[in-house]
Structure 1
């Protein structure tokens, strides 16, 4: 018997409530009143003796109290339960419980355990044996039959695994065990996602076991999202995520890129369009940072599929060198490989074949699995070697070739050339040439060298010319000043093919003896892919030990004892219990073994059409609450109250009348003490926030806006701590610890400067918060906005980045004054240090301040301009990233470029900004003293 959300374990006892009217009548009934006869001699005694009166019936409120007490006792004996558990339709003589514990169950594992516990409790009440199997454990696991206590112990000991479910193997084990048991209830607690051959596995299980009934449980919503690829491209890092098809609503996620120390280096925004199952996003940061990426993770997704580890993006590549020209020690500077070796030795492991022939030498190099092969002065490649090279490039290898006279004999449309070539050389300079040596032009925007400056000291005397095809511009990575290609490149499957149209020694050009040549080769090697185990350990190994694993919740953890080495061969090994996802290898290099393949999809699991009765169960925590004890406690309390009332009505309290005076005195004393304490309470008018205010104004504190994005907020705090330490070392100012403020509720007036990093992943401030910021600026405070996107077209230039768009949305709600880049004579350039630029972790973006206009009409200004301080500053150079330090005082993030003085200039920029904020027009007047004296005629 049940009335939701309340049920009773013994509902028949509720019939006892029908006795309440009888109890009412019994409590109200009294004996008949006796007839009174007056005996005259007793009238005098009647006047002298005290007459006790007894009511002929109990008061109504006592009767009601006793009825309530009786009702509570009856209800408690009926075993009431609030939010009763869902009925478990177990009709079989045994329970076969199959639970998914794969990577998708990590976030909701507690509800899966609670549901399985309810099934086991029901089996215990029915005294039936239990089979318990998990689809992501080994096939030889113990599945029972168990008793309820042993089944619960095993259930609580098992945790989600970062591997797919192997339903077929586990179903076979369960089917074998069910054949020797009476008809059982088969309970399937799935994760809601389909696996390979699921339909066949389910139908085989039902056909071979014929259970009494089936309990089917799947999640109500499929919110699982996983990463399928993370590709380091020419100018960006592209991340791809997938979700289940039933999740048709639009969704926006943020993916973070982390280095091997867990520091966040970049973000990508992924948007799932309505009904779409795939989304991509780009992390646009300089290649120096992209090569430090060790893992990509989706924010808020606590599963192993939402993390993707990377291999080879920050390790040295193996590069194979091959030349047909014999090495002449006497003429080493003319050797085709001499300058290549010197350029690549600092960042690559170089290998060369022992065989001097092309065919044998190329085969020998390919056996060592290099990421890059450099052919210095080769011509036609033999057919057998050409086939191997093409296949190697299709699988991700990078082939780099250089011009030589031998290439003139190669067919123009050869598949080992990125562009067709003419059969003549171009001579620049000399008596028979109209044109002089050509310099190198600006690198094209689509080139991996686009961020390099054009070398002014490089000239080209000879080159191989490319056929002028329509797509030649798309393949040109470097050109001469007249537009002819110097370096061309093309994709070959997953790999690349690159051709330098000059020789690798200085006879055709001065490029090989320039620093630009080193940087160009570095970029090509960093864009290449490591090939197999040879690139990881430098030896022909076939297995790699586990190094760092991905846990079911997405955390990077050390390997467990049962994790086995990963066999590396021609076929990709699947993710399994023996080889869970993670990194395999060692400190010298690792191989990434990720959970989801690049073509993986997440498909919802459709309930098969079973031939036996099916009951659908929902996952839920056990929210049932037994009300028997609370009701009995309430009844006992009412009984105590009734007893006290009866004693009072019977005159027990008359004994206390003698102490009435003492009681009155005690009451007076207690009242006096209470009055004193109340007076003291009213006299203390302090507030909880007073101590915070006192601490905030006792010292100068730099503040930063708490955005809610953990990586951004931690960098902001570390950055202001680094700037605070620099201020203490270089100036007389000793600020307190940086303070994080929430602009929607914290007091802002305590802080002269607030650093606000703009992140598109952070929530957009509401109008009330924007109004608080505007009030703060009107009262003399200053806000330093930092979009941190100088390399993604920062504030004020070109197409806006997501961070700049968010800044524009924020500024749209403020009365912002006209802005301009800091002029050369601005006080910011000389408030403490003499500065010409204001770099941060990035360099090149300007620092925007209030324009130097007439401010006589202050009514229309957002702030008072009397102190000469701009209320708003905007930069895109990531100042906090350059200031940030760790616990040891070491820099937390690298600068771009890697100029060691850039961080010093960034800290000096911070000092100038702080001094500018604190001193106002005093510094401005000091800077312009000569001009003021001249104007005064002194």
Structure 2
């Protein structure tokens, strides 16, 4: 039975509405009169005039509540259906074909689409059959020729979900032709998108039978269509179909397990279909992102999966070079080579291991502290890739984190292992990841570290020189890999950093170190995790098949290859549902097509909601009756308590506000300063300031406490004496020296740290040694005084040093040459005496052979002597010398001058180096005075006695 837009499955139940007046009369009827009984005491009321009283009746609003409950129950039992699109004349029109667009673009309004399709037969006759045609290709799609009753069709439609790929309307027409179905009318529920295929499809359907169309375009942005990234963040491109008004949407960056790392806003202007969401997040967080999703939007197109091929590699850098002149360091060339394809992080090794990047690159680090070496080894065995470059430090000493044993010297032109001519790059073995790279003919190798002969050396070699010696070697270590370039990362030893081959070699080394193939056109990728139609990550089913690497370009999502992450030889590759998608609404439909809006196409079964409403009204009536009868005391108490809380809350706030104001009323204590003659400025504050803050406020010298009281006291006295002479003779005004613990204290705030080695001292911890290594790599200077006064030419002279500082990354050392800047940084010196005379001072070697060049800024970060310099500088609280000196006051004065030269050398670098060339430049310009003395004829200032006030003459 049909009544306007309402259909009734059990119309006879509506006869119960006739009983509503009877129910009304019963509910409002007057109660029966009470029985009369004569009581003797009532005779006292005989003289009272009686008044007519109306018996109590049920209130009108309770009657209305009960009548509504009865009516809702009666109408609900009649099984009503709201179907505005139904018409009486369609009952005898024949079978109805229901066509549904179930691609990913329908997910945003799938509930409306499913409701419209489920009610397609609500206005039809009792015996009218339905047929279902889905436009998204799927192996389990129903056969359009299958007959579905009015009960079966809604059940079938309600069991459907959108798929994660797009529609294929041509395939749907082909399946309809194969079925040979002749429907009486066609009802197409569509997403209203893609005019290029929608219009031909509508014309084909209207040629088969009268066509009604319900178009439900998605709300808001429909998809993420593109993604770009760099070292500073990522940019996501969104598109939408409805451009009628402005809108703002939010995009979230998520990890693979769903943790949100960042959110960005995309703003759509009116008549604008595209917008961008820009993520400005750190590189470490960027590397953890696995997908981007539109907040509050459903559908596979609202999710963009970020695979390892598109994501930048995370690479950590650790350098053995000082950063005083970063453009001259090895790390500068590595950084420039990595920038096109990697996200770079420069930090300490423990921090990088905790961040777990794709690879860690170390340049010219000879050895690590024992505990740190173990930590790095464990990281590599768990799958890390450690890439190392050689250098002077590695040529002198090396730890076990190398793919093959090395000789303890470098092969160079003019060195101990001599080349007659620079070598060119030879070949890349067939098993090397560098296979296929062009060999640069103009690259020359001038120096390298040599591998020891080994039976497995050939299998570990990735690149060779023209004479067959290894240039790059690699070996597996657990699940990870060790890779060694036998040359420096900078141009000191070779021209390789100048070539484009260097960039590609690094890229392939990082990929191979992670166990990934280098070529993107080889291998097969299997589905690892895929998206369903709602944009949720699910496990792939049996219909998802692997994809050849060469087929990933331009692949279209389908049932065989659903959107998701596919794992293969180069990590993971992604198929995204909306890659390159452009949303466009269908605005022009074929003539004769009946277009239904939301109200016309939507049908709803009202039986269940009406019965639920009746039950709710009855429950409300029962609660009201019990409350009036006083049977709900708890309800009354709760109401009274709520009133009391509401009244007390303002008073509680008034009491709390003064306490809160008092708690946050904290005034900082002022700083006060006082001058300290001879030792700069001391800081006195209320409370304590740590040593790092003091050293940042005033330049101070520092020394490492050894635990030997006599040695530490002598060291402190020596640094006080050196600070005093610096204050009197130079513009450097050091404050009171600090003792430091390299394991816990900040070291970077001190320009130089002194260490006096006591006899039989306990070795420093591995953490302390590694922090000293970091201090030296970051530009700090370490002065070590062995105090033994012996000849340090033999290797045994460094036994105490190796024992106390195990794992110190010591560069190759050599005695200070006569023309070194240390001899003229402030005073002109030809020797470096301390408490003992005729002793050598050792600094970082500048190279090998006649063509040796200083690396970086040329300032040695490690200086070692044995003349007990600190004792020669030591003074007591009155400024008087504490210890005797072999050569008397003359030698003590020279020791002080060396101390000043040392601090000037550390603070100012090698700027005095340029003055050596001044006479030659003047001669070349023709401006030199012929009567001026030549450099070799200058006066020897070393023999000038000290002035009475201690200042320079």
TM-score with structure 2 length normalisation? 0.42
TM-score with structure 1 length normalisation? 0.42
Bigger Cα Rg: 2
